[in-house]
Structure 1
Amino acid sequence: MFQMKSVEMVHWDFWQRLTVPLDAQIVTIIGPNGSGKTTLLDALRTLLAIKCSGKRDYKRYVRNNREPFAFLKGVVANPRRLNGGLYPTPFFPLLSEEVTLLCRIKKQGGDWVRHYAIAEGDVALDSAVADPALAWLGVQEYRRRLEAAGLTAAVGEVLALEQGDTDKLTEYTPKQLLDLVFQVFGDKDVLDNYQHARDEQRAAEAELNALSQQQEALEVRVEAMKTRANRYLEWTGLQKRVNRLRDEALPVLGLIDGRSAITRQWQDYRRLQHDYLNVSADHRATLQLMATLRRAESEAQAARAQADGERHHAQQAFMHARDALRDVQSRLKERDRLQALAGQQYGDDAATLTQRLAALRHDADSLRDSLRAARRERDEHSAELAALESGKPRAPDEVRHFRAALDEAGIEHSMLCDIVEVTDAAWQGAVEALLKPYRHVVLLADPADRRAAWQLGEKLRYRHFVVPDTAAAPRARGGSLLEVVRFAEPAPEWLYQQMNRVSRVADVAAGAKEDGDWITPEGYFRERRGARHIGVPQRDFAFGEAARQSRLLDLRATLTTLNQRIIAGEEQLVAATRDIAALADYLSGMDSIAQLASRADEFAALEAQLATLEASVAAHGAALADADSACRDAESRHSDARLAHDRVCQREQDSLNRQAARRLEAQQARRTLRRLLAELRDSRSHLPAAAQDAAYVAQLTEEFETAADVRHEIHYLEEKLAAGDWECDEAVLQLKDKLQEDLNTLARECQRRQAEVERAAGLTSDAREAYLGKLRATVRAYGSNIKRLGELAGIGVEVELPLLSNDDTALAQAGLTLKFNFDQKGMMGMNDGEASGGQQVMKSLILLIGLMMDEANPSGFVFIDEPFAHLDIFNIDRVAGFLKATEAQYLITTPNTHNINIFAPSGLTLATRKKRPGEQWAPAILQTRRRLEAES
């Protein structure tokens, strides 16, 4: 690495133009705080294209003087390397002993930009800036040239340490320290190159995997394309088969089969035509007979109408005579009634009989009311019986009204009594007793209907539960009442729990031994409040088939009793009615004698007319009988004629149907014959040229037998072609060949890549094994450097070399561990908190200067900002002696408040001064150089 000779600054911070010599091993920069010590170091850092200290940058310094440009010039050594080689000097191809580094900073586009240049020799700043042949470089290219000269990025990080942070190196981890050593000595590039090679190898392996996956996907596509190609070949084969059948086999076999079919069809047609002519002749004869019978039926119908008219006239005459006779007889019956009443013996007076008649009528009215109530009760029981027999028991009015309201609102529901079935008849009474309060509980099918159902319940004041939440029946406890009950639908959980909690006991004695609730078959129930009888009569059972049968028996017995009571009451009512009528007649008979006397002439005239009317009725009755006999004879004759005509009509219809059937068969036979002739002509017109060869025809006949078989196979093949998923594009064959060729090419490429990956893996492994020796040598060299530096400083240094093996994991985890022994007090680590501030500075200096020691190129420079900040006088002398004993160049800053011992190692001292108030530029830097003879 090179060393600094001088630096020249133009418009840098508050210095107008200033040249500062740096040609000494140790340069001490002293001055008060804010006098420009760090500003001078940042000028050197900017000249070397590394970052400034703290949060500063070069733009801060060039803005302070309000000038549009600034220049930095540095003269550095360009010594020849001891080993020579391809690059004998740091700034090759520049071979002079000194090289000028230039930095130009100016405003461009509203912002400050910098450019760099490297010139051979010590070139004046003005002539260098005016030289048109000077090549100005960008920051990155300039940094690359400096790295080639030895100023690596790692060294740049060390040179950019903060003020007072000289001990930062002691905070590095073993891994970071090892990476820094490799960066400074140039081995980091080898590691990076190796890592880059490994990344490329992994990328190649990933690419190979991708190619393998692509090959697998292509193989799948090739197989799919082969399947498509096979479907295309099968489709073309079927098409060729259909074409051969239609163009070759069908015409030849159709011609052969058509000739024999036409012969058979012609015979069938002649037979059917003959049958049609015979049936037509029979039909004509039937039509003639039907006309004759139709005339006979018309004549019989006319005779029947005439006889029916004569009977009607005779009947009217008889009815007039009979009505007159009935009128006379009715009036004579009134005479006989009055005579019978006049002949009775009267007892009590009329008032007493009238009171008795009123009492009888009152008893009759009471009996009618009783019968009416009994009949109404019978109707209600009959309706309930019909409902039970149909499986739908009749519920109370309030339940029926509420269910009707739910149905009208579209709310699906069921009743608890409809879903409960008792599986053990012996416990029917116990179940009825426990569930009696819940027999009219309404169970909603959808819980979302609860609000609407509850509103209806509130409106109609329904006194029973409306339950929205139901669940399936749980497992019944052994011996519980739930064990003998089966639910057809989900029921409320509280009902399950209550029934599962109640035990079944035979009697009260057995129940006394039970803990908890129990019930007997008769319905004696024990709960937490005590025991009581809650049984219900058998006629009031409501749950299950047993309850329905019990209610049916009770209703039938009740209906039997009601019917008997109604019959007895009706008999009593008939007797009372009869007595009332007799008593009423008796009362009316008291004035019958007077009526007989007043109507005696009327009754005598009626008696005289009676005989005449009876003779007239007898004569008209005989005439009506004769007319009726004649009408029946005419009706019989008409019926026989109509029956004969109907039979002939039926025979005519059958004959007509046979004629139509024979005509249809003949027409169909004629159409078939025409079709066969057309097919024969079509087959003859489509005969292939080979049809003249008898051997070819025999081969087709042997292969397909008949034309029907050919048509059947054509139909089958066409259905197969229509229903199948065929490939109809011929390009699929070319695409299959192309994909197969691509697959073969890809397989060869995968084999080639596999070979390359294996070869690269071998080369990478061999290269890693080769450079591991170089890395070990670098670590050993750095260990020797810091041990030798420790001896110069009187500090024991112990180096634990890392394990550098041929393994990526081991290399990634490797680190350099150092321990120091101050004043024979024992070893301490890098940053374990046991060292003092001065000891931390000594450790950092050893680590820092060790990086600069290169046997091939022992030069180099270091910026150390206030290294004596934490040191006492004794340690200042030790650090000073240590710095003088090394070969590197040091630029050290220190405030002017330290002990004068800090100037002991300095060969050149630079004193900075603050800018005076009111002046534009800061004063120049003072210089003090140590006399060589005085030093010697």
Structure 2
Amino acid sequence: MFQIKSLEMVHWDFWQRLSVPLDAQIVTIIGPNGSGKTTLLDAMRTLLAIKCSGKRDYKRYVRNNREPFAYLRGVVDNPRRASDGLYPTPFFPIVTPDVTLLCRVRKQGGDWVRHYAILDGDVPLELAEGQAQWLGVQEYRRRLEAAGLTAAVAEVLALEQGDTDKLTEYSPRQLLDLVFQVFGDKDVLDNYQHAREEQKATEQELESLSRQKEMLEGRVEIMKTRANRYLEWRQLNAAIARLNDTALPVLGWLDNKSSIGSSWNEYRQRLSQRRDARRDHGDTLTLVARLRDAEHGAQAARDAAETVRRSAQDAFMAAKADHAEVAGQLKERDRLLALTGKNYGSDSTALTGKLAALRQETDALRDTLREAKRRRQDLMQHVASLEAGRTRLPEDVRHLRAAFDEAGIPHTLLSDIVEVTDSDWQGAVEAVLRPYRHVVLLDNGQDRSRAWEIAERLRYRHFIVPDRTTPPAARKGSLLDVVRLSADIPDWLSRQLNAITRVENAREGAGVDGDWITREGYFRERRGARHIGVAAHEYAFGEAARVSRLAGLRRELTKLNETLLADDEKLLALTREASGLAEYLGGMDAFLQLESRADEFAALEARKIELEERIARLGEALAAAQGEREAAEARYSDARLAHDRVCLREKEGLEKLAALDAGVEASRRQLRRLIGEVREAARRLPPDALAPEAVKALEDEFESAADARHQLGYLEERLGSGEWETDENVLELKGKLNDDLEQLERERARRQSEVDRAGSLTGEARAAYINKLRATVRAYARNVKRLGELAGIGVEVDLPQLENDDAVLAQAGLTLRFNFDQKGMMGLNDGEASGGQQVMKSLILLIGLMMDEANPSGFVFIDEPFAHLDIFNIDRVAGFLKATEAQYLITSPNTHNINIFAPSELTLATRKKRPGETWAPPILQTRRRVEEKPA
């Protein structure tokens, strides 16, 4: 690979025109932050068609100076390779020691466009424009890659600022791929893989041919089926034509001729049946008239009996009504007699007062029972809600949630997402979270403004929390350790739960530094300790809370039912006592009323006896009338049933007579038709159709004309319902498809043999190339080990297992371990190495890629490799760089220790652009003086 000798920049960033020498093994670029160190490296990257650092690109640098063009010219060496060969120099056919690389950037079509050129020798910029044969970016990259600047090396040269140790982050597989890319083996592997993919594509084509063959075989089978359907269709048409033209006419003539005699006998039999039916129908009409007269007489007798029964019933019911009225008036007498039988000796005034007190106590007890029953109903609804898994919320919480749902604000109650995993600590969790049981958590923090407005309007007393975070890992022994959360919660709450330690008692809590709580809820915080426990029926969080509240409500419901039962019994006793007392007070007036109404009650008693006798007589008359009515109804029913039966027989006779008339007429028409058909068929048949031998053959084949018609119907139905082929060209098409199938089978067999041979050759070639891959890995292992020796670092390399197998090659990786200061082996990126050790590991990996025994040169951009290194590690890295043969371009802030200049042969110092000036000042340069050694 080549090395860079100098760089010239025109209109690059804020440099108008500037040339800097780079002809040294180690070039150090220093300057304050923002003075152009990375800009100088990006100029060399752009000259080499490599992407710039960070998110920058070349357009950024050429836009800053507001000039329409920019040039980058670099002079690189073109060393002769030790082995010569077909390409003795990197830039062959250029063989001069120096080569000029030129990049021109200018506006074209409103955008900045790059063009590149490679010139023989050190050509000044003024002459290079005329000599250049401009190349595109891709062609230029291809020429540089042939000179040793591979795509993998270009990726390494484009590392970000401060990412010197990026190579140590590579996985073993990525590192092995990078080695193969740098040494040129990756392309060969890719070519082999491409060949395998082409082979797979060819195999897919073969599969496609196989599918085509299967499809063509299917088409051949379909065409065979179509040809068979065509032949069958032709046979069906021929059979149908024979039946229509010959068989049916002859067989019909024979059947009609034999049917005329049987049709005549049937006609005469039906005439006789019709005469008998007409005679029977006349007798039935006479019986119908006689039974109709009997039915009318029975109906008149039934109506007369019904009139007598209704009169007797009306008289009986009137007597019953009078008796009921008299009996009702006599009930007042019986009540007064009952009252006179009591013992009256108490003071009526005192009894009246006691009755009023009993009634007042009864009314108060009724009110108490009414309120208790309302409470019982409320408890039963609450229990049903908890049994169904629903939690009953306070009124203000329900109103707020309803308002949020109406406003479309998704939210969650804190009590809905908290579950206690250890039931022994349920009381402690409930005690701490009791003030927050009705805290509302917003699912979307952007709804906070609307949510707070609604809560302000409803005067909601609990927190509305918009900010929620994922809970941290629970501290062992904390209250959060026994809580499972189904959603995010406020950060302050998770911190509070995680800060509270669970203890068995206050004595154990005395030795805890911080907040603690016992199972029963004795809580210690910064203000002191106190009991904040919650009763089990007031639990609100998780399934245990629901079960505890349900058990408490059931106990309360049981006690309430017992109280209701006792109050009901007490109310019944009070009611009975008040009723008896009221009845007692009413009996004191009974004697006076009986004496004053004695004549009235005597007259009513006599009237009652008279009405009872009258009711007995009228009942007997009503029973007799009812019996006569039922007998008349039975006679009428019998007469009507007999008349209906005869009418039905008369209707059946008419229907039978009509059917016989229709049969006689049908027999007459059938006889006429048969005679006409026989005559007509005899006229239409050809003379030879009725030959004895032809008729005998048809009679042997078919039993009758009906059998022939059945056969014809079957054939026509089969012809009409089937899917037939009617084109005779299908026979030729079937033959052509058979020929195509044979040709396709021959082509598939030929290509299969070619694919098998190509796969065998590709596998054998890749198996042979595996030895080259092993040699590449061994060479890289030697490089890194030799570099490790230069740096005083032990390096071990685990060579990968490389076999001619896709799975093995895909899983192969290169594993390296390093031993710093005899402290033991460590991996690439296992976190055990210091910053300086990471830089040393990355440099060994990087320089090992550049080392080539046939072409030991090369260059590396290292942006701030000494960042975060102490003096000892800076000296160690510097000594390592001096011991290698590559060219290094290193950037460093000017605030570092002066030890960074120890390995540098050439130092470039960049300076910031002064305010008010258009261009930045030129780069200062300092070259180390080389003292001649005494002879």
With normalisation by structure 2, the TM-score equals 0.54
Describe the SS at the equivalent of 2:685: helix
Question: In 2, distance between residues paired with 1:712 and 1:898?
Answer: 114
Q: Specify whether residues 87 and 740 from structure 1 end up closer, same or farther in structure 2 by C-alpha distance, changes over 3 A only.
A: farther
2-side partners of 1:867 and 1:571: how far apart? Answer: 134
Q: Residue 572 and residue 882 in structure 1: after superposition, are their counterparts in 2 closer, same or farther (change >3 A)? A: closer
Q: Is contact 1:250–1:683 with CA below 8 Å preserved after alignment?
A: no
Instruction: State the shift of 1:756 in Å.
Output: 5.0
Residue type at the aligned position of 1:168? K
**What is the deviation of 1:154?**
1.2
Q: Aligned to 2:176, which of 178, 181, 185?
A: 178
Matches within 5 A, 1:857-872: 857-872=855-870
Please give the residue correspondences for 1:245-394 in structure 2 after superposition, counting only pairs within 5 Å: 245-247=243-245, 253=250, 258=253, 369-370=318-319
Matched, 1:765 2:763: yes
1:346-495 to 2 correspondences below 5 Å = 369-370=318-319
* Equivalent in the alignment of 2:89: 89
Alignment check: 8 A CA contact 2:29 2:892 kept: yes
CA displacement, residues 221-269 of structure 1 (integer Å, 9 cap, x when unaligned): 5545544443333222111222234345556x46xx84x7797789999
Deviation, structure 1 residue 148:
2.1
* 1:114, distance to aligned residue in structure 2 (A): 1.5
2:156 aligns with one of 140, 155, 158? 158
Residue 30 of structure 1 contacts residue 912 of structure 1 at CA under 8 Å; is this kept in 2?
A: yes
What secondary structure does 1:934 align onto?
A: coil
1:926 corresponding residue in structure 2? 924
> Alpha carbons of 1:68 and 1:833: their partners in 2 closer, same or farther (altered >3 Å)?
same
Partner of 2:678 in structure 1? 676
Name the structure 2 match of 1:24: 24
- Shift of residue 860, structure 1, vs aligned partner: 1.2
Query: Equivalent residue for 1:805?
Result: 803
Is the 8 Å Cα contact of residues 374 and 566 (structure 1) preserved in structure 2? no
Single out whichever of 772-781 and 261-270 deviates more from structure 2. 261-270
Greater mean deviation of Cα atoms: 262-271 or 26-35: 262-271
Give me the whole-angstrom Cα distance separating, in 2, the residues matched to 1:368 and 1:659: 63
Q: TM-score, normalised by structure 1?
A: 0.54
Q: Give the whole-Å Cα distance in 2 for the aligned partners of 1:54 and 1:369.
A: 120
CA distance change for structure 1 residues 48 and 710 in 2, over 3 Å: closer, same or farther? Answer: same
Instruction: Show the counterpart of 2:231.
Output: 233
- 1:756/1:69 Cα in 2 relative to 1: closer, same or farther (>3 Å)? same
Aligned partner of 1:433 in structure 2 is none
Q: How does 1:821-840 map to 2 (within 5 A)?
A: 821-840=819-838
Contact 1:371 1:569 survives alignment (8 Å): no
Separation in 1, partners of 2:855, 2:165: 25
Shift of 1:45: 0.2
1:82 counterpart letter in structure 2 = A
| 1:249–1:897 Cα change, 3 Å | same
Match of 1:77 in 2: 77
Q: For each residue in 1:504-547, what CA deviation from the matched residue of structure 2 results, as whole angstroms up to 9, or x when unmatched? A: xxxxxxxxxxxxxxxxxxxxxxxxx9xxxxxxxxxxxxxxxxxx
Residue 502 (structure 1) aligns with:
none
Residues 9 and 269 of structure 1: is their aligned pair in 2 closer, same or farther, counting only changes over 3 Å? closer
How many residues align? The count is 579
Q: State the shift of 1:728 in Å.
A: 3.8
What is aligned with 2:6?
Answer: 6
Give 1:877 shift. 3.8
1:776, 1:568 → 2: CA distance?
A: 135
What is the aligned partner in structure 1 of residue 394 from structure 2?
Answer: none
Tell me the CA shift for residue 571 of structure 1. Answer: 8.3
Please give the alpha-carbon distance, in whole angstroms, between the structure 1 residues aligned to 2:203 and 2:730: 34
Segments of 5+ residues of structure 1 without an aligned counterpart are: 284-363, 376-528, 530-563, 575-649
SS in 2 for 1:23: coil
Q: What one-letter code is carried by the residue in structure 2 that aligns with 1:56? A: R
1:242 aligns to 2:240 (yes or no): yes
- Relative to structure 1, the CA distance from residue 104 to residue 661 in structure 2 (aligned partners, 3 Å threshold; closer, same or farther) is closer
User: Residues 74 and 721 of structure 1: is their aligned pair in 2 closer, same or farther, counting only changes over 3 Å?
Assistant: same
Distance 1:368 1:16, change over 3 A: closer
2:260·2:674 contact (CA, 8 Å) conserved in 1? no
Q: Are 2:68 and 1:68 equivalent residues in the alignment?
A: yes
- In structure 2, do the counterparts of structure 1 residues 63 and 714 end up closer, same or farther at CA, with 3 Å as the change threshold? same
Q: Which aligned pairs between 1:738-749 and structure 2 lie closer than 5 A?
A: 744=742, 747-748=745-746
Give the corresponding residue for 2:422: none
Residue identity matched to 1:779:
V
**CA spacing shift, 1:47–1:694, aligned 2, 3 Å:** farther
Matched, 1:127 2:127: yes
Task: Check the 8 A contact 2:850/2:858 in 1, yes or no.
Answer: yes
Tell me which moved more, 657-666 or 168-177: 657-666
Assess if the C-alpha contact under 8 Å between 2:199 and 2:759 holds in 1: yes
Amino acid at match of 1:678: E
SS of the equivalent of 1:87 reads coil
Distance 1:731 1:791, change over 3 A: same
Q: What's the offset of the Cα at 1:181?
A: 1.0
Residue of structure 2 equivalent to 1:795: 793
Q: What SS class does the counterpart of residue 686 from structure 2 fall into?
A: helix
Distance 1:196 1:117 in 2: 32
Shift of 1:920: 1.9
Give the alignment partner of residue 716 of structure 2, picking from 715, 718, 722.
Answer: 718
Which letter maps to 1:159? L
Residue 54 of structure 1 is matched in structure 2 by 54
Give the superposition deviation at 1:885: 2.6
Could you list the per-position Cα deviations for residues 834-878 of structure 1 after superposition, in whole angstroms to 9, with x for gaps in the alignment?
Answer: 333222222221111110001122221111223333444444444
Deviation at 1:758, TM superposition (A): 4.2
The verdict on how the C-alpha distance between 1:224 and 1:661 changes in structure 2, with shifts beyond 3 A counting, is closer
What amino acid sits opposite 1:889 in the alignment? Q
Cα deviation code 1:769-805 (max 9, x no counterpart):
2222111111100000111111122222111112223
For 1:103, the equivalent position in structure 2 comes to: 103
- CA change 1:682–1:7 in 2 (3 A) is farther
**In 2 relative to 1, CA 242–161 (structure 1 residues): closer, same or farther, beyond 3 Å?**
same
Q: 1:836 to 1:42 in 2, by over 3 A?
A: same
Give the direction of change, closer, same or farther, for the CA distance of 1:107–1:667 in structure 2 (3 Å limit).
closer
Structure 1 pair 367/781, CA: closer, same or farther in 2 (3 Å)?
closer
Of residues 592, 604, 617 in structure 2, which corresponds to 1:569? 617
Mapped to 1, the partners of 2:126 and 2:866 lie a distance apart of: 38
Displacement of 1:105 in angstroms is 1.0
CA distance in 2, matches of 1:223, 1:890: 76
Greater C-alpha Rg: 1
Checking the alignment, whether the CA contact within 8 Å between 2:315 and 2:618 is kept in structure 1 is no
Instruction: Indicate how the Cα distance of structure 1 residues 367 and 21 shifts in structure 2: closer, same or farther if over 3 A, else same.
Output: closer
C-alpha contact 1:265 1:673 (8 A) present in aligned 2: no
Distance between the aligned counterparts of 2:5 and 2:168, measured in 1?
Answer: 30
2:890 alignment counterpart:
892
Return the alpha-carbon distance in structure 1 between the equivalents of residues 145 and 679 of structure 2.
107
- Superposed CA deviations along residues 704-741 of structure 1, whole A, max 9, x for unmatched, are 68766544433331232223344444455556556655
Residue 647 of structure 2: aligned partner? none
Report the 3-state secondary structure (helix = DSSP H, G, I; strand = E; otherwise coil) of the residue aligned with 1:790.
Answer: helix
Give per-residue Cα distances to partners, 1:878-936, cap 9 Å, x unaligned.
43333233222222223334444444433333333333333322222233344555378
Is the CA contact 1:368–1:573 (under 8 Å) kept in the aligned structure 2? no
Cα gap change, 1:198/1:693 in structure 2, threshold over 3 Å: closer, same or farther?
farther
Deviation at 1:200, TM superposition (A): 3.7
Q: Which one-letter code corresponds to 2:824 in the other structure?
A: G
Further displaced range: 691-700 or 241-250: 691-700
Aligned positions of 1:35-54 closer than 5 A: 35-54=35-54
Q: CA-atom RMSD, angstroms?
A: 4.5
Q: Is the Cα contact below 8 Å between 1:272 and 1:666 reproduced in 2?
A: no
